[in-house]
Amino acid sequence: MAYSIIRMLGVATFATLAVASPLAAQERPDPYAAPYMESMTWTEIRDAIAGGKKVAIIPTGGTEQNGPHMVMGKHNYIVTFAAGLLAQRLGNALIAPTLQYVPEGDYNRPGFGDKPGVISLLEPAYEQVLDAAVRSLKVHGFTDIILIGDSGPNQRGMSNIAKALNAEWTGSGVRVHALTDYYEQGRILIRDYLNKTYGWSEQVVGSHAGTSDTSQLLYVFAQGIRTDKLAPNGGSPDAGVQGDPTKASAAIGKIAIDFKVNSALSQFRNGTSAK
């Protein structure tokens, strides 16, 4: 799944972003190499586990509309990149493929098809996919399996699976961590930062495809933004945008992603994820 994202990004994209970004090139996650498992052979993964890399990260993204200015895979690009940063900071983690199909609303409801391209994986299928992925990684020898989700509807299923499997695996030495602070705390921190720094209200920043979301994709994958389509609230009441993406910048995007990754790291180290 994440391999499709990697192919879309391309080497040139990452090289360009590395030069333009405040981070040095070697500090940016490279999805063509370890610790992204899709870019490793099975023997490389085996040896990495034997060498102590026993934490696995499962990123969950989504395929949803993000207004006229932003591509459907926004969450997938962002969470794949963020998982790379989290793995760097942990130092002993590998990254599983990003789950691109997550709960995005009921496709049976009237109006679901008004914005084509949205794909929704309803419960219990979403949790079943997570359950299967986590169980697979446990068999291979990972002792800590982390779930992070870049969208609100992802969080409940992550927590449910972590609680259920931790109860089932009591005493096994394997723990599942639903790091919901990545999303929940991360979005609070960036909204507070933008309010204190620029005086922008929550309505201006927005909750979907607005300043924060657009900034993050600008930082990770600028080609995913149609700059000629940027407009407050998407330019119309039915555009599918909440907030003002015209205020977005790659610099804000870096800060927002750092907030998310640091929140996840803190939750993991403090042991406050779903039990």
Model confidence over 189-247: pLDDT tens digits? Answer: 999 999 999 999 999 999 999 999 999 999 999 999 999 999 999 999 999 999 999 99
Q: Note the pLDDT of residue 122.
A: 95
Percent of the chain with pLDDT over 70: 90
* Model confidence at 151: pLDDT above 70: yes
Q: Note the pLDDT of residue 184.
A: 98
Q: Note the pLDDT of residue 101.
A: 98
**Distance between CA 91 and CA 30 in Å, rounded?**
15
Q: Note the pLDDT of residue 275.
A: 64
- Length reported for the chain: 275
Token pair 């932003």: residue: 70
Q: Note the pLDDT of residue 198.
A: 98
Token pair 């992802």: residue: 154
- Are 148 and 86 contacting, i.e. CB atoms less than 8 angstroms apart? yes
Token pair 């993991």: residue: 268
pLDDT digits (tens, 9 = 90+) for 164-204: 999 999 999 999 999 999 999 999 999 999 999 999 999 99
pLDDT digits (tens, 9 = 90+) for 7-17: 344 433 333 33
Q: What is the pTM of this model?
A: 0.91
φ and ψ at residue 120, rounded to 5 degrees: -115, 130
Q: Note the pLDDT of residue 76.
A: 98
Q: Note the pLDDT of residue 7.
A: 39
Q: Note the pLDDT of residue 27.
A: 82
Q: Decide the pairing of beta strands 55-60 and 93-95.
A: parallel
Percent of the chain with pLDDT over 90: 88
pLDDT digits (tens, 9 = 90+) for 54-78: 999 999 999 999 999 999 999 999 9
Strands (E), the chain: 55-60, 93-95, 144-149, 175-178
**Distance between CA 79 and CA 61 in Å, rounded?**
6
Q: Note the pLDDT of residue 259.
A: 98
- Cis-peptide into 237, omega within 30 deg: no
φ and ψ at residue 151, rounded to 5 degrees: -135, 150
Other Cβ atoms less than 10 A from the Cβ of 237: the count is 8
**Distance between CA 46 and CA 230 in Å, rounded?**
46
Token pair 């309010």: residue: 195
Confidence of residue 31 (pLDDT cuts 50, 70, 90): confident
